Structures are given as C-alpha cells and as structure tokens.
Amino acid sequence: MPSFLFISLLLSFIHFSFSLPSIGVTYSTTTTTASPPPDKISATISTLKIPNVRLPDADPSLIKAFAFTNTSLFLSIPNPLLPAVAANRSLALRWLYRHVLPFYPRSKITLISVGNAVLDSVAEQDFTPYLLPAMRNLHLALHELGIKKIPVSTTFSFFSTITTAFPPSSAEFQQPAGDLIIKPLLQFLEETNSSFLINLYPYNLYRLNSEIPVGFALFQDYPFNFRDDLVTGVRYFNLFDMMADSVLTAMAVMGYESVPVIVAETGWPSGGGEAGEVEANEAYAEMYLKGLVRHLKSGVGTPLKKDGVAEVYVYELMDHEGGNNDNNKVTGRKWGILTENMTRKFNVEISSGVKNYGLMGIFLFLIAIFYAFP
C-alpha cells in the first residue's frame, strides 16, 4: 500500500511537470529600419533561454538561423496570401517548399498560423471567406509532404472575437462571425488536434474600462484586488485570467472546450503611444511581465481550467526605431523586452524554466517503475 501511494504521488508530480504552459516571445521585423542579422536574433534567443519564438514574418533566412537550436518556431502566413492559398493547394505547397521543407526538422517548426486577426481587417479587406479553405489546403499539403506533426490554425484578436470579459461566464463569440467562421474552424481544430490562437492584451482592456484597477491588470497582490463572477461564484485576481476564461467560456458554449488555447500575443508597452498614455511605461511593463511569468510558472491555470492556456507568446522581443509593428493600430508604442540595440530592459526571466521539472519527472518515473516491479 505505501509503495502504491508513493508511485501515485510520483506519477502526479510527473503529470504536473509537463502540464505547465510554455512561454515564448514574438519577433517581428520592420520595413522602416534594418533588422539585425538572423544569426544574431537566433543567438540572442538562445542566450535568453527562450524556448519558443513566434515569427509573424516567416523569412526563410530567419527560419534557417534556428536550425539545431531546439527553439520551437511558430510561423505565420500573412493575410494577403490567404485568397491564393485557399484557391489552390499547389500554392500552399509552394509556400511550404520555401518556408518549411528546406529547414524542417532541423529548424523545429511546431505550429503555423494561417493569417492573423483577420476579423480586424474586414472593413479594409475581408479575408474571412478564405480562412478555413486556406487552413484545409495547408493541412493537406503538409500531409502530402509527409509532415504530420505541424498543426495548422489561425490567430484571432480578443476584441473582435469575444463579446465581453465581465463576467467571463457571459462571454460568447461575436456574431455573425461566431457561427459562420469560428464554429466550423473550431471543428477543424478539434479534428486535426490543433489549438485556438488568440491575441490577448489586458493593457488594451484596461485602457477601455476606467473601472479596472491598474493593479488588477498588472498581477499585483493588493487588498481587495479581485473581481467576482456573480454567476459562477468564481473569484478572479488578475485581468489575464478573466480574459482567458472568457475565451474558454465562448468555446464551451459552442461545444469545443477541449480544444487547447494558445495566447499568440500579450504584453504591456514600456513607452510611446498616444498622448496621455501614461500607463505605457517601463515600470508597469516590467510588473506585467514579471506577474505573467510568475503566474504561468505557478501551475495554477485559470479558475475555469486547471491546465490553463497551453502556451503564451510575449509581444515582443525588441523595440524598433519609431515604435514596434503594432498590431493594435497605435504607432509608436514600444513593446519589446529588449531595446533597439538589443540590450535588456527588464529583469524578467522568460526561460525554459517553465518546464524545468521535465528531467526530474523522467528520473522519478524510472524510480516508480523500479518500485512497481521489484
């Protein structure tokens, strides 16, 4: 009996060691200034011990630079290519022949997003009719090439996708996109063992709602720094969890609560932005990043999901002159964890330590086997 209990505890520890979300970073280039050489970017990522990198601009030379580094790469196909990829699988193959086949598996490509925040650009150009056909064509093209371990998805923005975060239990997908676009897409993700990708910025929600205390958005442990969902009775201690659970609730309403969620972008600007944007400062940015990393490494998940989100990507690696490639439509904001000359701005460890119990878990598993079979 004691040995059985011991083995059970070991196995539960092993499960815990592999259930923590991994933390990565986005690296995007800019057309206004020269980007650092790909080898320097790869070396910097390795030095910082960041295990996952999202590359919205999937430049082949940059993908090649990560060969044999064991850094997981999350690639993206830009929105303007969606109509062509949706119309012709041979064009999906052509993209893979340029961006994946020459480098995989030496470069550890683990995920491809077909488009980014397509619902945000509907007023300018509507890519939504091409979204799911493009995803299907890319998925089939990967299998045609014998590559079956790279899932395909697309990335949504919280504000153009979810109705509300207050309370999370009332959240749904915005209509008509929810039924017409997101529901069939969730079915595709479930069938192909892929993940739902969402850009999630507590900073932007805080800016839109004056009733949100800044400490609640920054993971600060202040007295009475919580919000209750009066429908479920769940208490929330940070805005990130409220937004994540809003996404999970909307997915559950459609019957797809088992699909993993990946936060493709999150962060807090350290400067720039519009006049009066005083919350965009280095002190708050460091508080947000430290709080986020601490929260994810704690393994507590979110109130509605013990495992929480599967992965989180911080936006972004470095500042650019004149501001970052800001997906939030405000120029001049500086989101980087590094300065323009690639020096560190914050004392925040975004490292593979989020899964630092892996080897210990394997070691304990071997001990468990030894005790189980004397």
* Residues near 303 by beta carbon (within 8 Å), at least 6 away in sequence: 234, 235, 236, 241, 245
In a domain, 14, yes or no: no
Beta strands in the chain (DSSP E): 22-26, 52-55, 72-77, 108-116, 152-157, 196-199, 227-229, 234-236, 261-266, 311-314
The pLDDT value given to residue 8:
46
Q: d(Cα 307, Cα 318) in Å, to the nearest integer?
A: 29
Checking DSSP bridges between strand 234-236 and strand 227-229, what pairing results, if any?
Answer: antiparallel
Q: Is 66 inside any structural domain?
A: yes
Rounded Cα–Cα distance for residues 176 and 315 (Å): 29
In a domain, 223, yes or no: yes
Instruction: For residue 371, tell me if it sits in a domain.
Output: no
Tell me the HSE value of 307 on the side-chain side, using a 13 A CA sphere. 16
Q: How many CB atoms lie within 10 A of CB 196?
A: 26
Query: Which residue is listed with tokens 């919350």?
Result: 279
- Is residue 96 within 8 Å of residue 138, measured between CB atoms? yes
28, part of any domain: yes
Question: Distance between CA 362 and CA 13 in Å, rounded?
Answer: 10
Q: Would 158 be classed as within a structural domain?
A: yes
Is residue 244 within 8 Å of residue 200, measured between CB atoms? yes
* DSSP sequence for 319-373: --TT----TTS-TT-B--SB-TTS-B-S----SGGGGTTHHHHHHHHHHHHHHH-
pTM recorded for the entire structure: 0.89
pLDDT tens sequence for the chain (374 residues): 444 434 443 444 344 444 678 999 999 987 666 789 999 999 999 999 999 999 999 899 999 999 999 999 999 999 999 999 999 999 999 999 999 999 999 999 999 999 999 999 776 789 999 999 999 999 999 999 999 999 999 999 999 999 999 999 999 999 999 999 999 999 999 999 999 999 999 999 999 998 999 999 999 988 888 999 999 999 999 999 999 999 999 999 999 999 999 999 999 999 988 877 899 999 999 999 999 999 999 999 999 999 899 999 999 999 987 665 555 445 588 999 999 999 999 988 887 544 444 444 444 445 444 555 55
Domain span at 159? 19-319+329-353
| C-alpha pair distances (Å), 280 with each of 75, 211, 332 | 28, 18, 11
Neighbouring C-beta atoms of residue 67, cutoff 10 Å: 15
- Pair of tokens at residue 331: 């120029």
Map tokens 């998805």 to a residue: 153
Q: In total, how many domains does the chain have?
A: 1
User: Which CATH number fits the domain that encloses residue 71?
Assistant: 3.20.20.80
Q: Reduced to 3 DSSP states, what percent helix, strand and coil does the chain have, rounded to the nearest 5? A: 40, 15, 40
Predicted pLDDT at 85: 98
